[in-house]
């Protein structure tokens, strides 16, 4: 079976490509001519490469021809403008759906990798379920929600939508790397005490979950959260990181969420001066101060037989090892 993976060189996409190859699938990797392929350098000789840009429908016309299934993993996860999110995550999803529709008879499945950002926040006392009306609270979440809508409305290929919780693991250069770095320096930054709980998933588990969704006949037309069944707090996460690093007494820095406004504003200004996109920006504040980001993982367990099994301590250790081995963090 041959699978087209969009966003193959990204954090999640690279792990999915590895998992597919390990399980004997053939892979066509959708890349852009500008894509940095460091995360899949070892797999590149074993995959077929196709080039395409989500915002340019004409570049996608032939990308799904000759494959059996498509996993749409590509997305804009940080952007300077609202427009960039919508062009890639909403319009881009529609463009890919149309490309898949043009070979609908050949494709057995389209899996859209969406996000729990579409579901919206949920306190630990009431984990959010997939059936709940989506409550995205960021531009990113709203753009991903629209991407889901296009898939539901327009796909003529049997589809499944997966909504991963926050993903951590080797190759992640987003907020988790910043947290690892802060702990390495001896700090534990805790917003409002750091007790709000979040569902997480280790990236290798996520790759297995996406494959479980791809293979399941019962998953057609369904939406699944993919998350470790036990959510954790900021404090637990950072304590696990400190233990893995052997940082004996990290200094807990309790700061009220109001301080996030000047911090995010400064970070955003600095990023705009250097032409970069900061992970810490004003858009992030509602997500950071939400009472919790806990989603139920039960539906995937009941219907797909999938449980994210990597314990936080083991996932954190593997992630740290990778960061150090690859020079992203000093030992």
What's the closest the beta carbon of residue 258 comes to ligand NAP, in angstroms? Answer: 26
Give the residue with the Cβ less far from ligand NAP, 39 or 247. 39
> What token pair was written down for 324?
């150090």
Give the C-alpha distances (Å, rounded to integers) separating 99 from 52, 89, 93, 330: 11, 15, 10, 44
Q: Distance between CA atoms of 68 and 324, rounded to whole angstroms?
A: 38
Residue nearer to ligand NAP on the CB measure, 202 or 242: 202
**CA–CA separation, 6 vs 189, rounded Å?**
35
Residue 148: closest CA among 217, 140, 293: 140
Cβ distance to ligand NAP smaller for residue 35 or 247: 35
Nearest to 299 by CA among 200, 212, 178, 183: 212
Shortest spacing between CB 315 and ligand NAP, in angstroms: 13
DSSP class per residue in 135-151: ---SHHHHHHHHHHHHH
**Rounded least distance, CB 326 to ligand NAP, Å:** 15
CB of 211 to ligand NAP, least distance (A): 14
Distances (CA, A) of 169 to 17, 177, 191, 209, 257: 15, 9, 22, 15, 26
Q: How far is the CB of 115 from ligand NAP (least distance, A)?
A: 4
Q: How far is the CB of 248 from ligand NAP (least distance, A)?
A: 29
Nearer to ligand NAP, 138 or 267 (CB): 138
CB of 128 closer than 8 Å to CB of 296: yes
Q: CB of residue 13 vs ligand NAP: minimum separation in angstroms?
A: 5
Q: Which CB, 55 or 80, lies closer to ligand NAP? A: 55
Closest-by-Cβ residue to ligand NAP is: 10
Query: Shortest Cβ distance from residue 127 to ligand NAP (Å)?
Result: 16
Q: How many residues are present in the chain? A: 331
Please say which residue, 54 or 128, places its beta carbon nearer to ligand NAP.
54
Nearer to ligand NAP, 10 or 315 (CB): 10
**In this complex, which beta carbon is closest to ligand NAP, that of residue 140 or of residue 250?**
140
Buried b (16+ CB within 10 A) or exposed e, 67-100: bbbbbbbbbbbbbeeeebbbbbbbbbbbbbbbbb
Q: For residue 49, list its beta bridge partners.
A: 29
Residues that bind ligand NAP (CB under 6 A): 7, 9-13, 32, 34-36, 53-55, 73-77, 88, 92, 113, 115, 144, 164, 166-167
Distances 159 to 24, 108, 206 between C-alpha atoms, Å:
22, 9, 18
192 sits in the region (left: phi over 0; alpha: psi -120 to 50; else beta) called left
């Amino acid at each position: 079976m041959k699978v087209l993976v969009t966003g193959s060189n990204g954090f999640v996409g690279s792990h999915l490509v590895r998992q597919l190859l390990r399980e004997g699938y053939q892979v066509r990797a959708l890349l852009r001519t500008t894509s940095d392929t460091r995360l899949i350098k070892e797999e590149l000789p074993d995959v077929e490469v196709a080039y395409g840009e989500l915002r340019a429908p004409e570049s996608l016309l032939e990308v799904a021809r000759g494959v059996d299934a498509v996993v749409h993993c590509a997305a804009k996860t940080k952007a300077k403008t609202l427009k960039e999110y919508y062009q890639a995550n909403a319009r881009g999803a529609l463009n890919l759906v149309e490309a898949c529709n043009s070979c609908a008879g050949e494709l057995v499945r389209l899996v859209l990798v969406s996000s729990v950002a579409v579901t919206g926040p949920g306190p630990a006392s009431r984990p959010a379920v997939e059936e709940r009306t989506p409550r995205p609270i960021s531009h990113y979440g709203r753009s991903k929600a629209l991407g889901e809508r296009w898939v539901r409305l327009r796909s003529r290929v049997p589809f499944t939508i997966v909504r991963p919780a926050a993903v951590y693991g080797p190759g992640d250069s987003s907020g988790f790397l910043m947290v690892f770095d802060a702990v390495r320096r001896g700090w534990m930054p805790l917003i409002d005490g750091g007790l709000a709980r979040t569902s997480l998933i280790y990236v290798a588990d996520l790759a297995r979950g996406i494959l479980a969704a791809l293979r399941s006949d019962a998953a057609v037309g369904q939406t699944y959260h993919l998350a470790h069944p036990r959510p954790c707090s900021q404090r637990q996460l950072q304590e696990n990181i400190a233990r893995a690093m052997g940082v004996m007494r990290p200094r807990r820095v309790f700061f009220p969420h109001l301080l996030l406004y000047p911090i995010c504003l400064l970070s955003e200004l600095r990023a705009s001066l250097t032409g970069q996109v900061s992970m810490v920006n004003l858009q992030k504040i509602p997500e950071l101060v939400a009472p919790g980001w806990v989603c139920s993982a039960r539906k995937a367990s009941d219907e797909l037989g999938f449980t994210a099994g990597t314990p936080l301590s083991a996932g954190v250790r593997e992630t740290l090892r990778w960061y150090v081995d690859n020079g992203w963090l000093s030992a």
